[in-house]
Structure 1
Amino acid sequence: MTIKNMERSLDFYQNVIGFQVISQTDRSAELSADGKRVLLVLEENPGAVILPERSVTGLYHFAILLPDRKELGIALARLIENGIALGQGDHAVSEALYLSDPDGNGIEIYADRPRSTWQRDAEGNYVMQTAPVDVDGLLEEAGAERKSRLPEGTVIGHIHLHVTDLQEAKAFYTDILGFDIVGNYAAMSALFVSAGGYHHHIGLNIWAGKHAPPKPGNASGLDYYTIVLPHHEELSRVTKALTDAGFEIEEKNDGIFVKDPVSGADIAFTL
Structure 2
Amino acid sequence: MNTDASRDAPDDRLPAGTRIGRAALRIVDLDETTAFYRDVVGLGVLDRDGDRAVLGVDGTPLLVLERDPDRPDRGRTDAGLFHTAFRVPSRAALGEALVRVRDRWRLDGPSDHLVSEALYLDDPEGNGVEIYRDRPREEWPVADDGTVRMATEPLDVQGVAAAAGGASAGLVDDAPSGTDVGHVHLEVTSLSAFEAVYVDGIGFEVGMTGPNVRFVAAGGYHHHLGANTWRGRTTPAAGRGIAWFEVVVPDAAAVEAVRDRLDAVAADTDVDVGVEVREDGIAITDDDGIEVHVRPEFA
If the TM-score is normalised by the length of the shorter chain, which range does it land in?
Answer: over 0.9
**1:33 aligned to 48, 57, 73, which one?**
57
Give the drift of 1:117. Answer: 0.8
Give the drift of 1:48. Answer: 4.3
Task: Specify the alignment match of 1:138 in structure 2.
Answer: 160
Task: Specify the alignment match of 1:237 in structure 2.
Answer: 257
**2:37 aligned to 13, 27, 31, which one?**
13
Alignment of 1:160-179 (within 5 A): 160-179=185-204
Specify the SS of the correspondent of 2:117.
strand
5+ long unaligned stretches in structure 2 = 1-24, 267-272
Specify the SS of the correspondent of 1:109.
strand
Specify the SS of the correspondent of 1:150.
coil
Cα shift readout 1:215-252 (whole Å, capped 9, x = no counterpart): 22xx2200111000111110111112223333432122
Distance in 2 separating the partners of 1:214 and 1:167? 15
Task: Specify the alignment match of 2:136 in structure 1.
Answer: 114
Specify the SS of the correspondent of 1:75.
helix
Distance in 1 separating the partners of 2:260 and 2:105? 48
Task: Specify the alignment match of 1:252 in structure 2.
Answer: 278
Cα shift readout 1:60-98 (whole Å, capped 9, x = no counterpart): 001000001110001001110114232211000000000
Distance in 2 separating the partners of 1:248 and 1:100? 30
Distance in 1 separating the partners of 2:195 and 2:105? 39
Q: Structure 1: which amino acid aligns with 2:101? A: L
Q: Which has the higher contact order (CA 8 A, sep 6+)?
A: 2
Give the drift of 1:145. Answer: 4.7
Cα shift readout 1:161-202 (whole Å, capped 9, x = no counterpart): 1111112222222122211111122xx210100000000000
Give the drift of 1:50. Answer: 3.6
Give the drift of 1:146. Answer: 3.1
Conservation of the 8 A alpha-carbon contact between 1:57 and 1:208: no
Distance in 1 separating the partners of 2:61 and 2:30? 17
5+ long unaligned stretches in structure 1 = none
Q: Structure 2: which amino acid aligns with 1:227? A: V
Distance in 1 separating the partners of 2:196 and 2:146? 18
**2:223 aligned to 200, 207, 214, which one?**
200
Task: Specify the alignment match of 2:240 in structure 1.
Answer: 220
**2:147 aligned to 117, 122, 125, which one?**
125
Task: Specify the alignment match of 1:82 in structure 2.
Answer: 104
Identity of aligned residues (%): 38
Aligned-residue CA RMSD (Å): 1.5
**2:209 aligned to 166, 184, 192, which one?**
184
Conservation of the 8 A alpha-carbon contact between 1:92 and 1:128: yes
